[in-house]
Amino acid sequence: MTSPPGAHLPEHPDFLWDDPEPKSSYDVVVVGGGGHGLATAYYLAKVHGITNVAVLEKGWLAGGNMARNTTIIRSNYLWDESSGIYEHSLKLWEGLEEDLGYPILFDQRGVLNLAHSLQDVRDSVRRVNANRLNGIDAEWVDPAGVKEICPIVNTSPDVRYPVLGATYQPRAGIAKHDYVAWGYARAAHEMGVDLIQDCEVTGLETAGGRITAVRTSRGRIAAGKVALCAAGHSSVLAKMAGIPLPLASHPLQALVSELLEPVHPTVVMSNAVHVYVSQAHKGELVMGAGIDSYNGYGQRGSFHIIEQQMAAALELFPVFARAHLLRTWAGIVDVSPDASPIVGLTPVGGLYLNCGWGTGGFKATPGVGDCFAHTIAHDKPHPFNEPFTLERFTTGALVDEHGAAAVAH
């Protein structure tokens, strides 16, 4: 090896953020210091000039799903509504490193979504065609094409569920989750946003149908507007304002191997065999496991899910046999009935909602941060998040992405 692995990892630009005492009042309080909360604060300051903003985080900054996700970024969703917001996000990813002035290891190594049944093939082709008409780079590749893009995939026809082909998005890829969060945090902090950790929101105060303040473990904070970015805890928070949400919070696990020489040049996802895997920059295989069926806020899942995941992984990647599992963990994902997010206004004036991203919201971080900031600043949804209202569950205008989202992240 010419240069040791990891040598190219960034030197972290020095100062990140302060640990200020909360002020007694802010123009906008963002609840939840994950990727979405931080990005929202960043675009509020940068695009809308709103800097009297606090991001309140109950634990350590970006320690929720942001610290736990498998970092897959893509925009090849089925419906026009989804294409809109995810592709907007992907475009922002493409300039994000420069925008933030912070290395985020955004790597457009492409994502393969494998098809294993004739119906998978139909669904995949349908999605590829829809993507292309929506201006999203998407391709259908046959098993030989899969092998070319990722030689270690077992494309032989005699496996239990042979690979019949795949969709491929070349512009898709991965980024280093922590660096993304720190990049946003650092930039938001520089523009005057207060990042307040160990500050749990315990109540939402309203008067005359408008939000007035949040109660926190560090005292009451008055707020002109409050934006919820609490991912897995969204139901709990919204309930504080009397707003029921159609969400279920589930454990979702992921795992890594020890460091390995490069074997896996892209990202591979398979719904049917249930695998999604990439090899991170340092060399560890990063793999997502299935969702646990039950609601859970414990940030831990059941081990049989991991075992199933390993069996599936070896079906597709026999070379992984003697890779070793190094660490497993879990996040809390907020799953919505149609596998699409809820982003927009609420019945309470000045209270805004961003949730329901379930197993796939990392890729949306810049896009939703931008659109949500717009929504907050203008008290009106950005066109890209307009379809993702809470009302859709009443009207029936769902954006059912189960096919494109499923286990896929």
Partner 1 sequence: MQLIPCPWCGPREEAEFHYGGQAHVAYPEDPSALTDEEWARYVFFRENPSGPFAERWSHNAGCRRWFNAVRDTRTHDLLAVYRVGEPMPEVTA
Partner 2 sequence: MNLRTPTGGAVDRNTVLHFTFNGTEYTGHPGDTLASALLAHGVHEIGSSVKLGRPRGIVAAGSEDPTSLVQVEAPFSEPMLLATTVELYDGLVARGLAGQGRLSAEPDPARYDAKHEHCDVLVVGAGPAGLVAALTAARAGARVVLVDEQNQAGGALLGVDEYLDDRPSAEWVADVVAELRSTPGVLVLERTTAFGMYQDGFVLALQKRTDHLGFAAPASAARQRVWRIRTRQTVLATGAHERPVVFADNDRPGIMLASSARTFLHRYGVLPGSRAVVFTTNDSAYCAAIDLAESGVDVALVVDARPEAPARLATECAARGIEVRAGQVVTGTDGPGRITAAHVGDERIACDALLVSGGWNPVVSLFSQARGKLRYDAELGAFVPGEELSSVRVAGSATGELDLTACARQGRDAGAGAARAAGFTAGGQVPLPASDSRCTARSGLVLWRVPGSDDTSFVDLQRDSTVADVLRATGAGLRSLEHIKRYTTIGTAHDQGKTSGMIAAGIVAEALGVELAEQRPTTFRPPYTSVSFAALAGRDRGELHDPVRVTSIHPWHVEHGALFEDVGQWKRPWYYPRPGEDLHTAVLRECKATREGVGMMDGSTLGKIDVQGRDAGAFLDMLYTNMMSTLKVGRIRYGVMCGVDGMVIDDGTVIRVGEQRYLVTTTTGNAAKVLDWMEEWLQTEWPHLDVHCTSVTEHWATIPLVGPRSRDVLAAVAPDLDVSNEAFEFMTWRDTEVAGVPARVCRISFSGELAYEINVTAWHGITVWEALMAAGERYGITPYGTETMHVLRAEKGYPIIGQETDATVTPQDLGMSWAVSKKKRDFIGKRSFARAENNRTDRKQLVGLLPADPSVLLPEGSQIVETDRLPEPPVRMLGHVTSSYPSAALGRTFALALVRSGHERIGETLYVPVDDSLVPVTVTESVLYDKEGARRDG
Ligand X SMILES: Cc1cc2nc3c(=O)[nH]c(=O)nc-3n(C[C@H](O)[C@H](O)[C@H](O)COP(=O)(O)O)c2cc1C
Candidate list 318, 379, 380, 383; residue touching partner 2; CB under 8 A: 318
Report what 246 binds from ligand X, partner 1, partner 2, none; CB cut-off 5-8 Å by kind.
partner 1
Report what 121 binds from partner 1, partner 2, ligand FAD, none; CB cut-off 5-8 Å by kind.
partner 2
Candidate list 29, 30, 85, 245; residue touching partner 1; CB under 8 A: 245
Hey, which residues between 152 and 211 contact partner 2 (CB under 8 A)?
159-161, 178, 197
Tokens standing for 33?
Answer: 């210091």
Report what 327 binds from partner 1, ligand X, ligand FAD, none; CB cut-off 5-8 Å by kind.
ligand X
Hey, which residues between 252 and 271 contact ligand X (CB under 6 A)?
256
Closest distance of CB 198 from ligand X, Å: 16
Closest distance of CB 124 from ligand FAD, Å: 19
- Selection from 69, 364, 355 nearest residue 237 by Cα: 355
Q: Of the ranges 5-13, 91-99, 350-358, 367-375, which one interacts with partner 2 (CB under 8 A)?
A: 5-13
Hey, which residues between 42 and 81 contact ligand X (CB under 6 A)?
67-69, 71
d(CA 383, CA 333) in angstroms, rounded, equals: 25
Q: Of the ranges 2-10, 102-110, 290-298, 401-409, which one interacts with partner 1 (CB under 8 A)?
A: 290-298
Amino acid at the residue 23: K
Is residue 84 close enough to count as binding partner 2 by CB under 8 A?
A: yes
d(CA 64, CA 34) in angstroms, rounded, equals: 6
- Selection from 49, 50, 53, 57 nearest residue 28 by Cα: 53
Contact criterion met (CB below 8 Å) for 356 and 342 = yes
Contact criterion met (CB below 8 Å) for 87 and 169 = no
d(CA 277, CA 265) in angstroms, rounded, equals: 10
Q: Could you give the 3-state DSSP secondary structure of residue 375?
A: helix
Calculate Rg over the CA atoms of the chain: 21
Hey, which residues between 122 and 141 contact partner 2 (CB under 8 A)?
122-130, 132-136
Is residue 393 close enough to count as binding partner 1 by CB under 8 A?
A: yes
Q: Of the ranges 1-9, 29-37, 92-100, 376-384, which one interacts with partner 2 (CB under 8 A)?
A: 1-9
Contact criterion met (CB below 8 Å) for 213 and 220 = yes
Closest distance of CB 34 from ligand FAD, Å: 2
Number of C-beta neighbours around residue 190 at 10 A: 14
Contact criterion met (CB below 8 Å) for 168 and 110 = yes
Tokens standing for 302?
Answer: 């059941």
Report what 119 binds from ligand X, partner 2, partner 1, none; CB cut-off 5-8 Å by kind.
partner 2
Candidate list 326, 379, 380, 397; residue touching ligand X; CB under 6 A: 326
Q: Name the residue nearer to ligand X (CB basis): 27 or 200.
A: 200
Closest distance of CB 174 from ligand FAD, Å: 8
Q: Name the residue nearer to partner 1 (CB basis): 284 or 334.
A: 334
Closest distance of CB 281 from ligand X, Å: 9
Angle (deg, nearest 10), helices 177-190 and 35-48: 40
Closest distance of CB 84 from partner 2, Å: 8
Hey, which residues between 11 and 50 contact ligand FAD (CB under 6 A)?
31-37
Tokens standing for 391?
Answer: 């009302």
Hey, which residues between 390 and 409 contact partner 2 (CB under 8 A)?
394-398, 400, 402-403
d(CA 153, CA 269) in angstroms, rounded, equals: 11
Q: Is 186 left (phi over 0), alpha (psi -120 to 50) or beta?
A: alpha
Tokens standing for 268?
Answer: 């591979």
Contact criterion met (CB below 8 Å) for 226 and 352 = yes
- Report the residue number whose CB is nearest to ligand X: 329
Number of C-beta neighbours around residue 394 at 10 A: 8
* Alpha carbon distance, N-terminus to C-terminus of the chain: 32
In angstroms, how far is CA 344 from the centroid of its own chain?
17
Is residue 309 close enough to count as binding partner 1 by CB under 8 A?
A: no
Closest distance of CB 198 from partner 1, Å: 18
Tokens standing for 31?
Answer: 């609840």
Q: Name the residue nearer to partner 1 (CB basis): 236 or 259.
A: 236
- Residue numbers at the binding site for partner 1 (CB under 8 A): 233, 235-236, 239, 244-249, 293-298, 300, 302-304, 337, 393-395
- Residue numbers at the binding site for ligand FAD (CB under 6 A): 31-37, 56-59, 62-66, 68-72, 200-201, 229-233, 237, 252-254, 288, 331, 333, 357, 359-363, 409
